[in-house]
Amino acid sequence: MASSIDVSDLNIYYGDFLAVEGVNMSIRAKSVTAFIGPSGCGKSTMLRTLNRMHEVLPGARVEGKVAVDGQDLYDPSVDPVQVRRQIGMVFQRPNPFPTMSIYENVLAGNRLNAKRMKKSEADDIVEKSLRGANLWKEVKDRLNKPGMGLSGGQQQRLCIARAIAVEPQVLLMDEPCSALDPISTAAIEDLILQLKEDYTIVIVTHNMQQAARVSDETGFFNLKAAGEPGHLVEFNSTQRMFANPDDPSTEAYISGRFG
């Protein structure tokens, strides 16, 4: 079941360095939200706080609140490993496990969770996940072949299949198409639009046309000055952000005048 996300007064630190400051936003369930902004403004850092991957780095921490369906993810009682099961991540470059078959790549998260499965159950998970990632028809006859043998676009869809196999509520995607050709990019964008029927999706992208095509809401991040923390300049419906943004810097970035 897809979840809503509410971020309140969030400050993100690397040690003593304040990287992102004062973020407030509400992300609707079963929607696509895009984070845009120039390099170094903190949008990928912001994305990683949504499933507590940020704190894997030594000294990284947050102040404020990130709540999924009302549950604060940073409450001391919350297990970060469970958070990362609930909120999956797809990275910039496709990263199938190189020694694993397509079949075992899809099941990797389930195996990591020490979930015992009958062969029939595992088969069902693999087929359902690959169908969900629009990859089943292309690979159903070579499931035991290495995942690394697929094309770049297929590898990224395999990583999406691996992410949805553990039945998360939210999918985070950090520039999921930046390493792909236009045809593969179109396939991933089509897939994102299909997946939002079942998942809440948040993407980081430098591609303004992509944000306009796939997202329902957009958050624009920027720096006030070099060395200053990133901040959320504006968060609004994508249609409004691209047609009539509230902040002049949003329009300047979207139109390509900087960034």
Rg, C-alpha atoms of the chain: 18
Are 165 and 125 within 8 A, CB to CB? yes
Report CA 119 to chain centroid distance, whole Å.
30
Residue range(s) defining the domain that contains residue 37: 5-95+170-254
**Tell me, what's the pLDDT at 179?**
86
194 is a domain residue:
yes
**Tell me, what's the pLDDT at 253?**
95
**Tell me, what's the pLDDT at 197?**
94
133 is a domain residue:
no
pTM: 0.93
3 to 6, 18, 69, 111, 189: CA distances (angstroms): 10, 28, 6, 24, 21
165 is a domain residue:
no
Distance in angstroms (rounded) separating the CA atoms of residues 94 and 80: 24
**Tell me, what's the pLDDT at 185?**
94
Instruction: Enumerate residues 6+ apart whose C-beta is below 8 A from 71.
Output: 78
Q: For the stretch 16-54, what's the b/e string if a residue is b when 16 or more beta carbons lie within 10 angstroms of its beta carbon?
A: eebbbbebebebebbbbbbbbbeeebbbbbbbbbbbbbb
- Strands 87-90 and 170-174, sheet pairing: parallel
Q: Is pLDDT larger for residue 257 or for residue 85?
A: 85
Would the pLDDT of 192 be above 70?
yes
**Tell me, what's the pLDDT at 111?**
87
134 is a domain residue:
no
233 is a domain residue:
yes
Instruction: Enumerate residues 6+ apart whose C-beta is below 8 A from 182.
Output: none
146 to 11, 89, 104, 170, 220: CA distances (angstroms): 41, 21, 9, 27, 39
129 is a domain residue:
no
Are 169 and 1 within 8 A, CB to CB? yes
225 is a domain residue:
yes
Per-residue pLDDT tens over the stretch 17-75: 999 999 999 999 999 999 999 999 999 999 999 999 999 999 999 999 999 999 999 99
How many domains does the chain contain in total?
1
Are 20 and 230 within 8 A, CB to CB? yes
Band (pLDDT 50/70/90 cuts) for residue 259 is: low
CATH number at residue 88: 3.40.50.300
47 is a domain residue:
yes
Per-residue pLDDT tens over the stretch 62-117: 999 999 999 999 999 999 989 998 999 999 999 999 999 999 999 998 888 766 78
**How many residues appear in the chain?**
259
Give the number of other CB atoms < 10 A from CB of residue 109. 21
